[in-house]
Structure 1
Amino acid sequence: MVNAQVDAMSRGAVRSSAARMRYWVSSHAVTDFYQGLVPASIPFFVLERDYSYLAASGLALAATLGSALPQPVLGVLADRWRLLWLAPAGLAVAGIGAGLAGLAPSYPLVWLLLLLSGLGIAAYHPAAGRDARRDAGGSAAAMSRFAAGGSVGFFLAPALATPVLVGLGVGGTVVFLPPAVLMAFVLWRYQLRRAQHAVAVKSAGGQDRWVPFLVLTALAVARSVVFLGLNTFLVLYWIDHLGAAPVLGGIALTAFLTGGVLGTLVGGRLADRIGKVNTVRFGCAAVIPALVALRFMPNPVWALLLVAVVGVTVNIPFAVLVALGQDYLPGRPGTAAGVTLGLAVSAGGLFVPLLGLLADRNGTQAVLTALCVLAVPAVVLALVLVAPVAADQAQPT
């Protein structure tokens, strides 16, 4: 009888946690949709307004600067004060900036609006990462759903935005403004309801462990280089090296990103079973043979299966790195989320132009070869990682 009551209470707690995580999964998907909307809309700015490629890259830079650099600072603020409004406000600002950019009459105003959108994305992630961990109750699987929500939003942006912008022109970005405002309102109401309940938060081991966190950050940058390099050059690799039609290159990118969403979810499940550090080591090691097999597969159709496997393996550590970073900095979950979700990913993007130079000189196959090599440091860093201090996690009420 007692065991049945305990099991019922446990199932109820799991259902309650899952219900709370829905808000974070959904809001993360909506927020990162606007991160994906920027690269999806840039070609339309070039076509309709005769922006140069340099000007187009400037728009991408504005969004990246806004979303990446402020995240650690905003994470510090989120750790010092509760700022329950920060995640909803960031979501709204992300959507308003990106939504109005297509209506802006001048390049400087477009640039500033995309910078503003990036700042909104930067405001959302540290606060959301902190509060999603609060509601996840220490579950890596729950945090993986949160991370996967962002991947889904980014993935859907070009699929939803392209037909709208083709039909309405670049000004059609305004169509995507209302979802941000609506989701921000829903999330704000949820935060207010949660604020009415007492939440007992215990320090996971007490001391912040900066050396393991710095190793983890370096690993996150290395993983980001591989992921963003593939995301940037896969289509060109299919067309230029494998001799496939552009549509097959697009399918390859879709397979890679779909595998990425699956890998993020698998990583969270694995972490709850074999531990976070072991999961990171497994994912980092598994990506190397998958990448090598892809590099030497001459058939573009068969390579589609391999690129999906690469997408799975390279993303297995993604959400786990976020949760592990918060384990290393138990007193600064917002800072940890800001670095692992924002700064480390964007720092990885700084290496992509170097891969572009390599592609210009030696072809896209050289990029795939380089990525096979660049995946090795992630394995070395994963072996150096230490297990987090076992402690009670925050138990949401």
Structure 2
Amino acid sequence: MEEIRSAVPEKTTEELFQAANVSAFASAHAMHDTFPAFLPSLAPLLIEKFSLSNTQVGLFTACLRLPSMLQPLLGHLSDRRDLRWIAILTPALTATAMSLLGIAPGYTAILVLLLVAGLSSAAFHSVAPAMAGQVSGSQLGRGMSYWMVSGELGRTLGPLIAVGAISWLTLPGLPFTMLMGWAASFILYFRLRAIPMNAMQASEGLPWRGALRQMKPVLLPLIGLMVMRSMLENAMAIYLPVYLTQKGASLWLAGASLTIYEAAGLFGALLGGSLSDRLGRKKMIMFSIMTAPLLTGAFVLAPSAARLPLLLLMGFSILCVNPPMMALIQESAPQNRAFSLGVFLGFNFLIGSLASIVAGALGDTFGLTAAFASSAGLYLLGAPMVLFLPRTPKR
């Protein structure tokens, strides 16, 4: 019996799924992403307080998202330096900048605070997911599921927390909420200080050109998939409430429908990565491509009573693909995890921003039904891209 046991190789620390550390990253991600999600709830109050135009408000999102273009650079630095201090400090910094919007003295101060929050968020998302992947061991898909679910949870709860805090503390009392972000930083400090990271081993990382060459077989098909998929994902996230109100739904029901869709997406993100560990990344991506467009088509044709179950299935099928894609890009450059994620997320930001504009233009010109249908058809055309992805072993 002892001989049999000794014949089974034990997993090394690097191969083990370190649940406590992965959970610490996930909790910090949820707390961090709660604060940028304050903006939609704050915008009406800031418009009223400072008499802002819609064009001025449009710059809010630009200041918050534009720093994401720096993620490849930050990721490259993270692969060569021990930048865990960035992962530790940025939840507190983002929370501080966003909560200070409640006492901002003017429009320029708002833009500066949003730019600081955007830089902090870009730094956090360049460093922390690669570290979460490192402590996920051989179950990288599962680790990315935890990561994605926690971020979606933060973005879902953020507007509700902002509204609750303002109702209880009033707008000038919003800075008190920064304590949640500081708590996340303390959690990360105590969890990270004893964890060895690849980022500390600069000699093992490839130069960025070498890393790009290594990533190329995976990155190019994933970019193609992002182009084909982003319009559907962003159209649903941004225009679903507008579409439903145009169809006669109340504002409350339209908002609740988006929450239902996002909640199903949380479940999809949770299972998507773990299933891709067992079944393979390509199978999970193909599942999404084959089901999401059909469900979207059924949704736009269905009567009102049938839309709720379709929304649940759509949220699962559209959003379950994110963890497998993040796992794939890290596996393509295991010595440059942070850089690979930075490149992936940078492209995702850029393509998603353009896709939102295109979806809106289609909705203005042909109607949102046509925008949803064409977005679904475009995603279906992405199926051939999966064939170019490398096969991943089942676990």
2:255 is the alignment partner of 1:222: no
CA distance in 2, matches of 1:15, 1:381: 32
Q: Are 1:38 and 1:63, in contact at CA under 8 Å, matched by a contact in 2?
A: no
SS of aligned partner of 1:82: coil
SS of aligned partner of 2:32: helix
Offset of 1:260 from its aligned partner?
A: 0.7
2:316 is the alignment partner of 1:312: yes
Partner residue, 2:38:
37
2:91 is the alignment partner of 1:100: no
Q: Are 1:92 and 1:120, in contact at CA under 8 Å, matched by a contact in 2?
A: no
Q: Are 1:90 and 1:119, in contact at CA under 8 Å, matched by a contact in 2?
A: no
2:340 is the alignment partner of 1:339: no
Offset of 1:14 from its aligned partner?
A: 9.5
Higher mean C-alpha displacement, 153-162 vs 377-386: 377-386
CA distance in 2, matches of 1:203, 1:283: 33
Partner residue, 2:127:
127
2:250 is the alignment partner of 1:245: yes
CA distance in 1, matches of 2:42, 2:224: 31
CA distance in 2, matches of 1:49, 1:5: 71
Q: What RMSD in Å do the two structures reach over aligned CA positions? A: 3.0
Which amino acid counterpart does residue 179 of structure 1 have in structure 2? M
SS of aligned partner of 1:194: coil
Which amino acid counterpart does residue 263 of structure 1 have in structure 2? G
Which amino acid counterpart does residue 354 of structure 1 have in structure 2? V
After superposition, the Cα gap between the structure-2 partners of 1:311 and 1:197, relative to the gap in structure 1 and judged at 3 Å, is closer
For structure 2, list consecutive stretches of 5 or more residues without a partner in the other structure: none
Which amino acid counterpart does residue 264 of structure 2 have in structure 1? G
SS of aligned partner of 2:391: coil
Q: Are 1:26 and 1:149, in contact at CA under 8 Å, matched by a contact in 2?
A: yes
After superposition, the Cα gap between the structure-2 partners of 1:173 and 1:362, relative to the gap in structure 1 and judged at 3 Å, is farther
Q: Are 2:79 and 2:198, in contact at CA under 8 Å, matched by a contact in 1?
A: no
Which of 328, 332, 335 aligns to 1:328? It is: 332
CA deviation string 1:106-130 (max 9, x = no partner): 1111111111101111111121111
After superposition, the Cα gap between the structure-2 partners of 1:190 and 1:79, relative to the gap in structure 1 and judged at 3 Å, is same
SS of aligned partner of 1:105: coil
After superposition, the Cα gap between the structure-2 partners of 1:14 and 1:265, relative to the gap in structure 1 and judged at 3 Å, is farther
CA distance in 1, matches of 2:286, 2:177: 39
Offset of 1:80 from its aligned partner?
A: 1.7
After superposition, the Cα gap between the structure-2 partners of 1:80 and 1:238, relative to the gap in structure 1 and judged at 3 Å, is same
Which amino acid counterpart does residue 280 of structure 2 have in structure 1? G
After superposition, the Cα gap between the structure-2 partners of 1:43 and 1:14, relative to the gap in structure 1 and judged at 3 Å, is farther
Q: Are 2:79 and 2:200, in contact at CA under 8 Å, matched by a contact in 1?
A: no
Q: Are 2:205 and 2:335, in contact at CA under 8 Å, matched by a contact in 1?
A: yes
CA distance in 1, matches of 2:109, 2:251: 34
Partner residue, 2:74:
74
Which of 351, 358, 365 aligns to 2:362? It is: 358
Partner residue, 1:50:
51
Partner residue, 2:157:
156
Higher mean C-alpha displacement, 159-168 vs 224-233: 159-168
> How many residues are matched?
387
Offset of 1:47 from its aligned partner?
A: 2.7
SS of aligned partner of 2:390: coil
CA distance in 2, matches of 1:63, 1:196: 29
Offset of 1:247 from its aligned partner?
A: 1.2
Which amino acid counterpart does residue 272 of structure 2 have in structure 1? G
Offset of 1:310 from its aligned partner?
A: 0.7
CA distance in 2, matches of 1:88, 1:192: 10
Offset of 1:222 from its aligned partner?
A: 3.4
State how 1:141-180 maps to structure 2 within 5 Å.
141-180=142-181
Offset of 1:13 from its aligned partner?
A: 9.9
Partner residue, 2:215:
209
Q: Are 1:281 and 1:379, in contact at CA under 8 Å, matched by a contact in 2?
A: yes
Which of 372, 379, 394 aligns to 1:375? It is: 379
Offset of 1:378 from its aligned partner?
A: 3.0
CA distance in 2, matches of 1:383, 1:43: 46
Partner residue, 1:188:
189
Q: Are 2:166 and 2:173, in contact at CA under 8 Å, matched by a contact in 1?
A: yes
Q: Are 1:45 and 1:51, in contact at CA under 8 Å, matched by a contact in 2?
A: yes
After superposition, the Cα gap between the structure-2 partners of 1:48 and 1:163, relative to the gap in structure 1 and judged at 3 Å, is farther
CA distance in 2, matches of 1:236, 1:143: 31
Offset of 1:231 from its aligned partner?
A: 0.7
Offset of 1:199 from its aligned partner?
A: 9.5
Q: Are 2:79 and 2:337, in contact at CA under 8 Å, matched by a contact in 1?
A: yes
- Percentage of identical aligned residues: 25
CA distance in 1, matches of 2:43, 2:332: 38
